[in-house]
Amino acid sequence: MRQSETLAGQSFQPIEVYSFAMLVYFLILFPVTRGVDRIYQRVAHFGRS
């Protein structure tokens, strides 16, 4: 986030910079979140037995 603030200040295009940072953040965290959800479901299933 700090790097996007610096780049937005240097390029005078904050909307584009922050939109790109948001997209990268989403593309990294969405699959991680889905994977953790699947792991949690498997662990919860084993706990019910």
Task: Give the start-to-end residue ranges of the domains of the chain.
Answer: 2-48
Q: Are 29 and 37 in contact (CB under 8 A)?
A: no
CA dihedral 2, 7, 4, 17 (to 10 degrees): 170
Q: Is residue 40 packed enough to be buried (19+ CB in 10 Å), middle (13-18) or exposed (0-12)?
A: exposed
What's residue 22's pLDDT?
95
pLDDT tens-digit map of 7-47: 777 777 888 888 999 999 999 999 999 999 999 999 988 87
Q: CA 1, CA 7: separation in Å to the nearest integer?
A: 10
Using the predicted structure, report yes or no on whether residue 5 has a pLDDT greater than 80.
Answer: no
d(CA 20, CA 49): 45
Q: Which pLDDT score, from 0 to 100, does residue 1 have?
A: 64
pLDDT band for position 4 (cuts 50, 70, 90): confident
Asked if pLDDT for residue 49 goes beyond 60, the answer is: no
